[in-house]
Structure 1
Amino acid sequence: MITKLPILVICMLFIVSIATAQQLPVATNVQKAYAKGTRNKTGIPGKFYWQNKADYLIKVNFNPITRELKGRVGIDYTNNSPDTLQFILFKLYPNLFQDIAPKAIAIAKEDLTDGVKIEKLSQNGQSPDSTKYTIRGTNLFVRTKKLLPGSKTHFDIAYSYILNKGSFVRTGQIDSGAFFLAYFFPRVAVYDDIDGWNMFPYTGQVEFYNDYGNFDVEITVPGNYQVWATGSLKNPQEVYQPKFSSSIKPNRVIVC
């Protein structure tokens, strides 16, 4: 019995050390979410979990000659959080190509632009003066009246930007007759129970963090161009010749 005791003690210490090593540190903001009941240590949403929501009505016109995209977007935003929002944060992903925006990748000088131009911005039909919003790289900060928990607001934004010809990073001109347009509209950033607003800029090397939402999109291009997109096609008779449109059922999902 005496000779086995050291072995038993060593085994017990080994087991304790393994158990201790498996207790990984938990970030403070995640611990707070556990305490508030919005997150669960099992990984499933907590009892009080919530997500904010934005629905979009987007109309864009793309000119292949100038590579200019002009658009208007209407956004219905719902604050499902328990917090009062003092401002709304939007993402302007095309501003990766803005000359003064931070980048983690190389962009050719000829592809640098002034970025997204906000031509008009209104909230609930009222247009704030230009001092009420600020663009910092891919983030657009809009100071608003307090948005209370459970309340909704509406934004209308008219905007434009020039698509990059080279320096292809998820978006840009592919060849003389093909263009890939991605993340081409102002989008409300995520406001969540962990960090609040997602203020991390898009610098070209990260994936995106976006809320779910509904998207109603109209895309206008010259008649000799074909649009490939993901979504439910609503008007095949208007954009295809009869011999093609007759084979496409309304609301059929067309995936590029």
Structure 2
Amino acid sequence: MNRILSFFVLIVFIALDNGAAAQSLPVARNIQAAYQKGTRSVEGKPGKNYWQNKAAYTLRVKFNPETRLVAGTVDITYTNNSPDTLRQIWFKLYPNLYKTGTPRESAVSPRDLTEGVVIDSMFINGQIVNKANIGINGTNMTVNRQSLPGGKNMQFRISYHYTLNKTSHVRTGE
């Protein structure tokens, strides 16, 4: 009798295990859309229509150790490899973590607070950008400019300066 009961319990567990394995997990709508667009495969790998935008840049930087002033110019070629038109280009200004008034999760020394990154000039495709069209919010910078169609690129030349922090070392090393 025990043998029959044990066999029956084993059959029930096998049946329950097979039923559990056959259940599928819900898939988020954005992941389903990526499957349909072909930018992601069900295996989690990039799909046949996967793309990445590209930025190639050249930095020219000067640093004055006495004043801790960093000044430079960066030339960027930004390529939109997506099929979509980009309405905005975002830049990260990490030194603005030390800008007075910027929200931050890490404490910084009050002695390290500065005016942040100052954009001295910006050119897009050789044309000067009016500073009123440059938006800086914390560590994010956007430019109100024409959109960038898929497969096209834009040339940026940005001249800037900021004072390097001395005692706090969040995102800047020592």
Same fold judged by TM-score > 0.5? yes
Q: Is the 8 A contact 2:121 2:129 kept in 1?
A: no
Q: Which residue, out of 2, 8, 18, partners 2:11?
A: 8
Q: Secondary structure at the match of 1:86?
A: coil
Structure 2 CA distance for aligned equivalents of residues 24 and 99 of structure 1: 47
Percent identity at matched positions?
A: 49
Instruction: Name the aligned partner's letter for residue 154 of structure 1.
Output: Q
CA RMSD of aligned residues (A): 2.1
**Is residue 2:156 matched to residue 1:155?**
yes
**Is residue 2:122 matched to residue 1:103?**
no
User: Higher Cα Rg: structure 1 or 2?
Assistant: 2
Structure 1 CA distance for aligned equivalents of residues 27 and 112 of structure 2: 42
Q: Secondary structure at the match of 2:89?
A: strand
Question: How many pairs align?
Answer: 171
Structure 2 CA distance for aligned equivalents of residues 30 and 106 of structure 1: 37
TM-score by length of 1: 0.61
Instruction: Name the aligned partner's letter for residue 39 of structure 2.
Output: T
Structure 1 CA distance for aligned equivalents of residues 122 and 163 of structure 2: 19
Output aligned runs, 1:91-170, within 5 Å.
91-170=92-171
Q: Secondary structure at the match of 1:148?
A: coil
Structure 2 CA distance for aligned equivalents of residues 70 and 94 of structure 1: 12
Q: Is the 8 A contact 2:94 2:171 kept in 1?
A: no
Q: How far does residue 8 in structure 1 lie from its aligned partner after superposition?
A: 1.8
Structure 2 CA distance for aligned equivalents of residues 24 and 115 of structure 1: 47
Q: How far does residue 35 in structure 1 lie from its aligned partner after superposition?
A: 1.6
1:62-110 Cα offsets, whole Å, 9 max, x none, are 0000000000011111111000111111111111111222211111111
Q: Secondary structure at the match of 2:144?
A: strand
Stretches of structure 1 lacking an aligned partner (at least 5 in a row): 175-256
Correspondence for 2:77: 76
Structure 2 CA distance for aligned equivalents of residues 24 and 104 of structure 1: 35
Structure 1 CA distance for aligned equivalents of residues 11 and 141 of structure 2: 62
Q: How far does residue 2 in structure 1 lie from its aligned partner after superposition?
A: 7.3
Q: Secondary structure at the match of 2:145?
A: strand
Q: How far does residue 58 in structure 1 lie from its aligned partner after superposition?
A: 1.0
Q: 24-33 vs 1-10, which deviates more?
A: 1-10
Q: How far does residue 25 in structure 1 lie from its aligned partner after superposition?
A: 5.0
**Is residue 2:12 matched to residue 1:29?**
no
Q: Secondary structure at the match of 2:167?
A: coil
Query: Closer, same or farther in 2 for the Cα pair 1:26/1:101, shift >3 Å?
Result: farther
1:187-221 Cα offsets, whole Å, 9 max, x none, are xxxxxxxxxxxxxxxxxxxxxxxxxxxxxxxxxxx
1:138-172 Cα offsets, whole Å, 9 max, x none, are 11011221211111110110000110001112415
Instruction: Name the aligned partner's letter for residue 107 of structure 1.
Output: V
From the two aligned structures, give the one with the greater helix fraction.
Answer: 2
Instruction: Name the aligned partner's letter for residue 17 of structure 1.
Output: A
